Amino acid sequence: MTTFRILPVIENRRLGPYTLLRIKDVGIHKYAGCGQFVMVGLSFLRDPFLLRPLSFLSVDNDSFSLLIKIKGRGTEMLSMVKPGEYLKVLGPLGRTILPGEKGILIAGGIGIAPLFYQSQWMRGGVLLYGAKDKRELVLVKEMEDRGLVVKTITEEKGGTVCDLVMENIALLKGQRVFICGPVAMIKSLREIIRDYTRETFVYLERRMGCGIGGCKSCAIKTGYGYKFVCQDGPVFPLEEVEIG
């Protein structure tokens, strides 16, 4: 059930280089499915004009959380919202996916957000997680507590997610794999893992107008013509989509 509402922020805290916003929303756990996201904006403002797509990071009975990396003005302003202030929230949006019982998650940077949520639906598995530096590696302990085997790498020392995946390529054999991270990472991974995995899914991003399938702006080329990230995604089989 997708709704548009004005909801209060009840927590704003730093998590590594990111901002974690918790938003009050009683009953949201009944609607927010794995793979879904919300469009969020500051109330009162018409500049920034568009709401910003953000993945669910976690959902409980009376609130949900978002993890925000500052990219431009929109995310900067969202990061500064204080408890007691209100946000416009449109969602849940996107198709729910089958998380699978276990499976492999591959995260780059802020890509951890939707994968962390996905892990809430899983019973373990493996997380391969790369970031620029140690500070950017967040929620590792929580993922381990959920029963995932977490392997991390940082660019500071070690290398990229791709290096980490290559080191652990055997783990991917015959598995369902979910990837979320920057376009360049997805492109490289595609080559690396092509012959190993059973199925590979990727969380994609696109500039969005409406977030709900109205404006046709989040088009992505697939083997079946254009699809829409907000409506047909944001998670797609990797082999179906043209990346970048």
Ligand X SMILES: Cc1cc2nc3c(=O)[nH]c(=O)nc-3n(C[C@H](O)[C@H](O)[C@H](O)COP(=O)(O)OP(=O)(O)OC[C@H]3O[C@@H](n4cnc5c(N)ncnc54)[C@H](O)[C@@H]3O)c2cc1C
Ligand Y SMILES: Cc1cc2nc3c(=O)[nH]c(=O)nc-3n(C[C@H](O)[C@H](O)[C@H](O)COP(=O)(O)O)c2cc1C
d(C-alpha 45, C-alpha 42), whole Å = 6
194 contact partners, CB below 8 Å, separation of at least 6: none
Q: Is 50 in the site for another protein (CB under 8 A)?
A: yes
Using CB under 8 A, pick the residue from 45, 98, 183, 219 that binds a second copy.
Answer: 45
| 63 binding partner (options ligand X, ligand FES, another protein, none; Cβ < 5 to 8 Å by kind) | none
Q: Is 46 in the site for a second copy (CB under 8 A)?
A: yes
Q: Is 225 in the site for another protein (CB under 8 A)?
A: yes
Q: Is 142 in the site for ligand X (CB under 6 A)?
A: no
Specify whether the CB–CB gap between 124 and 6 falls below 8 A. Answer: no
Q: Is 10 in the site for a second copy (CB under 8 A)?
A: no
Tell the residue number behind the tokens 């909801």, with chain if given.
7
Q: Is 44 in the site for a second copy (CB under 8 A)?
A: yes
Beta bridge partners of 21: 12, 66
Q: Is 72 in the site for a second copy (CB under 8 A)?
A: no
d(C-alpha 174, C-alpha 194), whole Å = 11
39 contact partners, CB below 8 Å, separation of at least 6: 51, 52, 53, 54, 89, 90, 91, 93, 208, 211
Stretch of 27-35, 98-106, 175-183, 227-235 contacting ligand FES, by CB under 6 A: 227-235
Q: Is 213 in the site for ligand FES (CB under 6 A)?
A: yes
Q: Based on CB atoms, which residue is closest to ligand FES, 66 or 218?
A: 218
Specify whether the CB–CB gap between 223 and 240 falls below 8 A. Answer: yes
Task: Give the binding site for another protein (CB under 8 A).
Answer: 1-4, 41, 46-51, 74, 88, 90, 206-210, 212-221, 225-226, 231
Task: Give the binding site for a second copy (CB under 8 A).
Answer: 44-47, 73, 76-77, 82
